[in-house]
Amino acid sequence: MAHQITSASNPLIKTLKSLHAKKGRAETGLFLAEGARLAREAADLGVWPQTMLYAADALQRPQVRDLVNEAERQGVRLIETSQGVLAQISKRDNPQTVIGAYHQSLAPLEALDGDVIVALEGIRDPGNLGTILRTADSVGAGGVVLLGETCDPFSVEAVRASMGSIFAMKLARASFSDLTRFAKTRGAPMIGASLKGAALDAERAVPARVVVLMGNEQSGLPPEMEAACDLLVKLPMSGRADSLNLAIATAVMLYDLWRRRGYDGARA
Amino acid sequence: MAHQITSASNPLIKTLKSLHAKKGRAETGLFLAEGARLAREAADLGVWPQTMLYAADALQRPQVRDLVNEAERQGVRLIETSQGVLAQISKRDNPQTVIGAYHQSLAPLEALDGDVIVALEGIRDPGNLGTILRTADSVGAGGVVLLGETCDPFSVEAVRASMGSIFAMKLARASFSDLTRFAKTRGAPMIGASLKGAALDAERAVPARVVVLMGNEQSGLPPEMEAACDLLVKLPMSGRADSLNLAIATAVMLYDLWRRRGYDGARA
């Protein structure tokens, strides 16, 4: 049975609103993901929220009704509420009609599998991080590793930019020495993006298994990480721009590496 | 001679603050660009702001002093002010020490030159638009064309994301029929990104001159635009992600086309 809450001052609603701040996420271990479609995709991956809120009139849509019924069978705490409360929780004038509060979940590094692993050193911008998760998912990567001090992958902005890939992509935190060991164990060379690198010949073959290492938005990779890479690649640049946006550079790297493997695993 | 203004209620300061809103930009024809480095890059392209504000103590940095002196010779209105006022204008706690209010400038479509022209139909997100300007600049594109109802390329968010490429890239607005005529005149095929397209064989040669047409974030290209394209390209996709972020998809398209031309014009 769903509880009905229409007061924004209800303690539970206050807790959900607190998930916009890092402190609220740290204290609860939860994060917000918005939209019935996202909740459906997560459910298809076996991921259910701790709490699911929905607008009462959204139950008229069969997809939402099915989702809520299934969530109830899964033991999800259900809250039927108003558009106004949903707007307050999402901090949007036109909120989605379903919002879930999910458990934050990081994978151990060893659980990452698949040919391509993307490692991000000190990434600052949650929009970039979410977009990189979405892109890593799109090229069939095996996971994303966060190194050093990074922005929070469970911030609302990162989750929104990931467009659901926060659920589909394995995400780990690791030290650089652990990552180096992991790459060695897998026989995967580490390929770093760096202005000190050289453009990769378009015809050059690259092993299927790689770890792609990207530095942060301001300063790129630190020298000791560059030194540990098996290959440093500089992306071709023209015009007056100094550099690419980090999420763009990551995507250009990932798609170029995937092309060298004939886009294996691409959907028809 | 610089004026000194330290009151945030000064009418000029109020006008500059209004440039965060579309109305303020429309009424004045101006936009904000932040940072001494950006102002230097714009100046190197011959673009000077109508008004330049700087923090008094920033004059201790020789680059800022030279920039301000040069701006004075160029007849730029100079305002020496406080960090507090700069913070209010930029709406940032840690503002840049130099902020310029520049004239919005669109190029006529015919002024766009260079092999690759990027056309964006109905783009919604200013961060995407700014990032695409930066990427188009990075691949040496000849300009960006806005079609239909789009977000404002002169919003603070778009300008920030462009990282200076708002000054370096020619930007035009056009109707789709004008764009089609323009492409024909130049002998440039129109290549559209579309899920209805096919993956482009990695070895297939593509003419140097192209117009790359990208649809909007929600709905992609409308059918009549798809029908007018000489070639529809679907980017390879794997995993569970439905689609790429628009700025990412544009970058993957542009870098893939550039690769087919041997990255001609890339910096060493």
Q: Could you tell me the pLDDT band of residue A205, with boundaries at 50, 70 and 90?
A: confident
Mutate to test the interface with B, among A244, A246, A254, A258 (most CBs of B within 10 A): A244
Contact B255 A252 (CB under 8 A): yes
Please tell me the predicted confidence (pLDDT) of residue B6: 85
Please tell me the predicted confidence (pLDDT) of residue A8: 84
Domains in chain A (CATH in brackets) are 3-103 (3.30.1330.30), 109-260 (3.40.1280.10)
Q: Which of A140, A251, A256 sits opposite B239 (nearest CB)?
A: A140
Please tell me the predicted confidence (pLDDT) of residue B241: 87
Residue A1: pLDDT above 80?
Answer: no
Contact A240 B164 (CB under 8 A): yes
Q: Could you tell me the pLDDT band of residue B77, with boundaries at 50, 70 and 90?
A: very high
Contact A251 B256 (CB under 8 A): no
Segment A89-104 mean pLDDT: 95
Task: Considering only residues B2 and A14, tell me which one the structure prediction assigns the higher pLDDT.
Answer: A14
Segment B127-135 mean pLDDT: 98
Q: Give B240's contacts (C-beta < 8 A, 6+ positions apart).
A: A41, A45, A137, A164, A165, A168
Q: Can you give the pTM of this predicted structure?
A: 0.96
Mutate to test the interface with B, among A238, A246, A256, A261 (most CBs of B within 10 A): A238
Q: Give A227's contacts (C-beta < 8 A, 6+ positions apart).
A: none
Most confident of B9-13, B83-87, B246-250: B246-250
Residue that the structure tokens 């180096």 belong to: A180
Please tell me the predicted confidence (pLDDT) of residue B74: 96
Contact B241 A164 (CB under 8 A): yes
Say what the ipTM of the complex is: 0.95
Please tell me the predicted confidence (pLDDT) of residue B7: 87
Q: Could you tell me the pLDDT band of residue A83, with boundaries at 50, 70 and 90?
A: very high
Among B244, B123, B261, which Cα is nearest to A252's? B244
The percent of residues in chain B predicted with pLDDT above 70, rounded, is 100
Please tell me the predicted confidence (pLDDT) of residue B2: 83
Please tell me the predicted confidence (pLDDT) of residue A78: 97
Please tell me the predicted confidence (pLDDT) of residue A242: 87
Please tell me the predicted confidence (pLDDT) of residue A111: 96
CA of A3 vs chain B CAs: smallest distance (Å): 33
How far is Cα of residue B51 from the mean position of the Cα atoms in its chain?
20
The 8-class DSSP code of residue A140 comes to T
Segment B151-157 mean pLDDT: 98
